[in-house]
A and B are shown apart, each in its own frame.
Chain A
């Protein structure tokens, strides 16, 4: 920490991470749609379709409801800003993100939650029934998923004696047996369930539905159009990529750059992309074989995740 601050290097690393997540997020979304289509026997849209959609949306006119207040405009902006902030500071390509020496796992959870809260507020703001319904459902799921996530983070932090994210990833690199410890596996299982719930994937929410009565996330963003919708799409896909990136870096940290320098950064980007692509394909394959859970059964799933995380904390405390 006593080294002189290298401003250009820090900006380079953060910029590279934001670029990789910002372009990789929509591509990941496209890849998951493509995987699903192929497994269902369809050709499916090309992988770069979400990027093309975003470009098209940015070129369109921005239409906002007359009755909306500043909250409606703030929703997409806060969502994309929180995603960009976490993308710049989380240990994704390198274990030493220069801007993120103090990136805390709890902090990341809260910053990402801020984006969801503002999206829900924007959905409530215009007073349309679908927006309110989607916001209410999303908030319910969030309120059930967040405790599980926080307890899982606690379970991650106990063996390493820190909740600092770069330190957690470095700890996994230096003591691989920590990753296979029962407490860590339980916490990881809870984390996976929460990632599926938070990013609106099956079995919690069907990302491809446009049926009014079942949709959760799509109902929230129904009123957004043009550049606003583009920001929401990019922000949501970045969030999925971020959560998956953190997941793979915590469970299989190998390949991440530990030194500074261009070459190791490129290696880190390739390793991250490979791991996230594998995780995305796994989730898409799982989605083909699963159906959406009834909304009233969701508390069971998320309470299960909570108890798994709690058992993770308990076993981590025992094994200490």
Chain B
């Protein structure tokens, strides 16, 4: 792979991760949001694969396949099972309306660029200049968790944060050691499964998956 091709692939992968984060704020349908999350997982795995091939790092290549299998397939499949069919599977009234949250996402991206200068300076390789994209994904994930009401969209926000941290780790340090990465992946998968069980429990008891229903005590 030529050098400019390698850089272009990394640019594309990191760009797709960030755009997917923004699109989760844009779309209302929960099924569409989960599909976007799956695409983001695949893009993240692609970034790891390109880095692994470039640095001849076998462990990173293995990690990239784990990432694609987990974040691109397993987690979205688990989440899809929670989403009911019909009109209730839409984020109808987020706390902040969609245009305002999109503008906020743009502002958070600029903030990520403004504050990540010292981190970029620490990274010796050329991949460091993409670190702000990962940081922006983390910030947008926190925003999604803060303004969304449905349990599924809040889980998606958490996963956005996780993907953003993973992207920063890949770009800044060439990825965690294999064992750490596997442990973190299993943890995230476990969290999603637990939340999925909790979500089904909430829905079977209240009929909706809206966390605002849980703010006061009921008999």
Contact = CB atoms under 8 A, between A and B. Distances in A.
Interface residues of A, number: 21
Contact of A303 (B12, B103, B110): B103
A299 interface: yes
A308 B109 CA distance: 11
B77 interface: no
A253 to B, nearest CB: 19
Contacts of B103: 303, 306-307
Contacts, number: 61
A177 interface: yes
B106 interface: yes
Interface string A177-199: 10011110010000000000000
Interface string A151-182: 00000000000000000000000000100111
Most chain A C-beta atoms within 10 Å of own C-beta, residue among B7, B11, B103: B11
Interface in B12-57: 12, 15-16, 18-19, 22, 26
Nearest to A299: B99
20 contacts: A181-B8, A181-B11, A182-B11, A186-B15, A186-B19, A299-B98, A300-B102, A303-B103, A304-B102, A306-B106, A307-B26, A307-B102, A307-B103, A307-B106, A308-B19, A310-B109, A311-B19, A314-B132, A315-B18, A318-B133
A304 B24 CA distance: 11
Interface of B: 4, 7-8, 11-12, 15-16, 18-19, 22, 26, 98-99, 102-103, 105-106, 109-110, 113, 129-130, 132-133
A319 interface: yes
Given A177-B4, A181-B11, A319-B11, A314 B105 contact: no
A136 to B, nearest CB: 19
Contacts of A308: 19, 22
Given A307-B105, A311-B19, A311-B22, A177 B99 contact: no
Q: Is the interface of B mostly helix, strand, loop or mixed?
A: helix
A186 B15 CA distance: 9
Given A300-B26, A304-B26, A318 B102 contact: no
A146 to B, nearest CB: 15
Contacts of B15: 182-183, 186, 311, 315
Given A311-B109, A319-B11, 18 more contacts: A177-B4, A181-B8, A182-B11, A182-B12, A299-B99, A300-B99, A303-B102, A306-B103, A307-B105, A307-B106, A310-B109, A314-B109, A314-B113, A315-B11, A315-B15, A318-B130, A318-B133, A319-B7
A300 B110 CA distance: 20
B133 A315 contact: yes
Closest 4 pairs (CB-CB, A-B): A182-B15, A303-B99, A310-B106, A300-B98
Nearest to B21: A311
A300 B102 CA distance: 8
Interface of A: 177, 180-183, 186, 299-300, 302-304, 306-308, 310-311, 314-315, 317-319
Contacts of B133: 315, 318
Nearest to A298: B99
B129 to A, nearest CB: 6
Contacts of A314: 109-110, 113, 132
B129 A318 contact: yes
A310 B11 CA distance: 16
Contacts of A315: 11, 15, 18, 133
B130 A311 contact: no
Nearest to A151: B106
Contacts of A180: 8
Nearest to B113: A314
Contacts of A303: 98-99, 102-103
Nearest to A317: B113
A318 B18 CA distance: 13
Contacts of B102: 300, 303-304, 306-307
A312 B144 CA distance: 21
A40 B165 CA distance: 48
Contacts of A299: 98-99
A177 B22 contact: no
B11 A311 contact: no
B18 A311 contact: yes
B39 to A, nearest CB: 14
A213 B12 CA distance: 43
Nearest to B101: A303
B106 A318 contact: no
A177 B7 CA distance: 12
